[in-house]
């Protein structure tokens, strides 16, 4: 029961929506938003975020109706964690070389130093590497796929 809720929360739709908008801002600021191939990747991600949101709403609706929708919690975890990794990867691609340097001191409150690139791209490397863990916690995606297969195939 609790793991099902944890996996549903890992989907983190609200964060995905915020980060999608942030990705668009970074892409515009860095001049890659006009690249049709890059914008196509953003569009694919946006479709996946909307689909994930619909899945979460479906789970919440079923739960409110007294049903046990936790059988798709593994799917939410898989898709949500993959989306988190994709938006962090696209942000790194949009920022280009400016995203690579990570200034640890910049993460501290009151830091007044200079960023290597624009201030909004400074934490992207840290975010990118941090998002790699999302396919592991809450049960690795490989394990979740096995759970889905057993549920579907019996």
Q: In this predicted model, what pLDDT tens digit does every residue of 116-145 receive, in sequence order?
A: 667 777 778 888 988 988 888 767 878 888
Q: What is the token pair recorded at 88?
A: 């962090």
Tens digits of residue pLDDT in 58-108: 888 887 888 776 667 788 888 999 999 999 999 999 998 888 766 677 778
**Domain residue ranges in the chain:** 2-153
Structure tokens at 134: 């999302």
C-alpha span between 115 and 106 (Å, rounded): 8
CATH of domain 2-153: 1.20.140.10
Asked if 136 contacts 99 with a C-beta cutoff of 8 angstroms, the reply is: no
Q: Read off the tokens for 151.
A: 């549920």
* R_g of the chain, CA atoms, integer Å: 18
37 sits in which H/E element: helix 36-64
Q: How far does CA 54 lie from the centroid of its chain?
A: 16
Instruction: Assess whether pLDDT exceeds 60 at residue 3.
Output: no
Q: What is the mean pLDDT of residues 5-12?
A: 71
Higher pLDDT, 136 or 36: 36
Question: What's the residue count for the chain?
Answer: 154
pLDDT at 5 exceeding the cut of 70? no
| Percentage above 70 pLDDT, the chain | 87
Residue 122 has which token pair? 């400074």
pLDDT for position 72: 78
């Amino acid at each position: 029961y609790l793991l099902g809720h944890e996996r549903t929360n890992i989907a983190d739709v609200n964060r995905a929506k915020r980060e999608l908008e942030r990705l668009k801002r970074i892409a515009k600021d860095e001049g890659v938003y006009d690249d049709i191939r890059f914008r196509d990747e953003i569009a694919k991600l946006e479709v996946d975020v909307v689909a994930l949101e619909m899945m979460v709403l479906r789970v919440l609706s079923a739960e409110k109706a007294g049903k046990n929708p936790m059988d798709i919690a593994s799917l939410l975890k898989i898709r949500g964690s993959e989306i988190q990794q994709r938006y962090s990867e696209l942000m790194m691609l949009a920022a280009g070389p400016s995203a690579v340097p990570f200034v640890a001191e910049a993460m501290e409150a009151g830091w007044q130093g200079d960023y290597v690139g624009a201030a909004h791209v400074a934490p992207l490397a840290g975010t990118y590497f941090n998002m790699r863990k999302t396919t592991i916690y809450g049960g690795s995606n490989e394990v979740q796929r096995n759970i889905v297969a057993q549920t579907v195939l019996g």
